[in-house]
Amino acid sequence: MGQLVNGKWVGGSDRQIGASGWEPRNEGFRDRVSSDGSTPYPAVAGRYLLVECPGCPLAQRVSMLHRMKRLEKVVPTVAVLPVMGEHGREFFREAPGQPEPLTGFRYLYEAYLASDPAYTGRASTPILFDLDQGRILSNNTRDIFAMFDRAFDALTEVHNSLLPPALTGQITAVMDEIYSGVTSAVYKCGFAREQSVYDTALRQLENALDRWEAHLAQNRWLLGNNMTEADFMLYTSLARYDAIYIPLFRTTTRRIADMPALSGFLARVHQLPGVAGTFDLHACMTHYFRSHLHINPTGLIPAPPALDWLSAPDKESRHA
């Protein structure tokens, strides 16, 4: 629990994420892999490393596409533990306390220091790490997603795109709407320090869920018949909603289980190739309930609710 300030790790309860209210992410590493030589970072196998975090919705969005595109042998992955400890996120190792062998780091913040010795901000995931240069290439979720969508196509047999150029404007507009109405709204509810802030964010969230419930009752995907990154973005928030956001962030006025269109949407996305393996409910609940001690000081993890969409078949054949 903490952050880097001018290259120094600063811990303490007052440095927990959300301890002072909702805060935007710092995604300032923006270099890109290219397949056409337009950047100094060629799309080659084995050079880049994807750092994932069980439980983090942004990291999961990237992991979903990584698995769907079958990039496991092209861009290997490592994971950090789901709980933020005294030194932030620690890399998963079979032998605890040892450095991660590909990078030599024990803690995620060390990757940030290696990339910018004076860095100020959170050590967040996902990151795409350049093993040749020993630094972070990108910690921007959308940029990493776009790289996996196209840049490595010559190295995989899966070439379908979730970011078709003709839909760029529509995808961005829908994702902006999801971000303001769902993704950030749940955190604003959970991290609110004033009743008016909570009330405003909750109304925004309610309106957004009702809007997407009505929309998905008539459409298979957010952009009609076109599955895009926007669908992955909404899925990662909704997948955590009933089990985590309701009890922890007090988003108590809606349940996804009571919204048939959103539940069906979750089931459809979850059954896509590679997606189920990126979602671990226990890791997600551990990630939230053990990391945000300023709103859950006991660190207790509640029993999960039944989530029918985890095993429900896609019965909405009218959208096929």
Give me Rg for the CA atoms of the chain.
19
State the Cα–Cα distance between residues 61 and 178, nearest whole angstrom: 14
List Cα–Cα distances, 257 to 138, 187, 240, 279, in angstroms: 36, 20, 12, 18
Tokens 């922890």 -> residue: 248
Q: Is the peptide bond before 165 cis (omega within 30 degrees of 0)?
A: no
> Catalytic: 56?
yes
> Catalytic: 179?
no
State the Cα–Cα distance between residues 240 and 19, nearest whole angstrom: 21
State the Cα–Cα distance between residues 150 and 44, nearest whole angstrom: 13
Residue 79, strand partner residues = 52
Output DSSP code: residue 165. G
At 88, give phi and psi (nearest 5°).
80, -145
State the Cα–Cα distance between residues 272 and 270, nearest whole angstrom: 6
Assign 3-class secondary structure to 17-46. Answer: CCECECCCCCCCCECCCECCCCCCCECCCC
Helix axes 195-216, 184-191, angle to 10 degrees: 150
Cα atoms in the 13 Å half-sphere on the side-chain side of 235 = 30
Please check whether residue 91 is in contact with residue 174, taking contact to mean a CB–CB distance below 8 angstroms.
Answer: no
Which residue out of 56, 109, 198, 241 is catalytically annotated? 56
Which residue out of 41, 109, 119, 187 is catalytically annotated? 187
Catalytic sites, residue numbers: 56, 187
